[in-house]
Homo-oligomer: A and B are copies of this chain.
Amino acid sequence: MQPENESSGQGRRSFIEQARRGQIVAATIETIAEIGYAKASFVQIARRAGISPGLITYHFAKREELMKQVMLTVHDSMEQALSSRAEGSESYRGALRGLIEGFVHYCAEHPAELVAISQIAAAARDAEAARAWSEEQNASTLTELEDMFREGQELGEFRDFAPRVMAVSVIAAMEATPAELWARPDTDVTQYAKELADLFELAVRRA
C-alpha cells in the first residue's frame, strides 16, 4: 500500500511523493534544531510540516528511514556547496583550505542542518541501520580525505604524517564548528574559517 520505500533508485517516486518527502525532511531538520532530537517526535515534526503524523510513516516506513534521509539530504547539500568552492584549487594545500573554509561557511549558513545531523549521528549510535549507514557515510568522507593527504605526501606537498590521524582530526575540528558558532553567535565566521585553515596548513606543510 505504501510507496516502495528506498527501492533501487530515486526515479521511481512520483512528483508529489518527492515533494512530500522533501517537506517532511525539512520539517524534521527544523524540529530537531529547535527542540532537540530527543523531543523531536512525529507529532512535533508533523505539526511543523502542517501534516498529520500518520503521513510520515506513510512516506518513511520507519523512523530510521526518515533520519537516514535527513542525513543523506544534508550531506548532499553540503557536498554540492563544497564542490563548487573546491573546483578552482590547483594544489592539495589549496584543496584542504577550500574544504575547511567551505565547511565553516556552510555551517554558518545552514546551522539547523548541521545541528540536525550531529544530533542524529550522536543518537543513532544504536539505531542499527542508521548507525551502519552513518558510519559508512563518515568512512567514505574520511577515506577521501585520507587519500588526498596521501597523494599530497607523494607529490611532496605535505610532510610525512599519518594520513588517518590527520583526516580524523580535520573532520573532528570541522564538526566542532556548528556548536561553537551556536555558542558564540557573534563569531567572525570568515576569521574562524581562516584560522582553522591556517591551523591545518601548518600541520601538514613540508618543513
Are B165 and A195 touching (Cβ within 8 A)?
A: yes
A200 contacts partner chain B, Cβ-Cβ < 8 Å: yes
Chain B interface: which of A5-13, A30-38, A79-87?
A: A30-38
Partner of A175, one of B35, B172, B195: B172
Contact string, A46-90, partner B, CB cutoff 8 A, digits 1/0? 010000000000000000000000000000000000000000000
Chain B interface: which of A20-28, A105-113, A120-128?
A: A120-128
- Closest Cβ of chain B to A75, distance in Å, is 18
Q: How far is the CA of A119 from the CA of B47 in the complex (A)?
A: 27
Query: Which range contains the number of A residues in contact with the other chain?
Result: 35 or more
A143 contacts partner chain B, Cβ-Cβ < 8 Å: no
A14 contacts partner chain B, Cβ-Cβ < 8 Å: no
Are A199 and B203 touching (Cβ within 8 A)?
A: yes
A168 contacts partner chain B, Cβ-Cβ < 8 Å: yes
A154 contacts partner chain B, Cβ-Cβ < 8 Å: no
Task: Given A47-B1, A165-B195, A199-B166, decide whether A36 and B172 contact each other with a Cβ distance below 8 A.
Answer: no
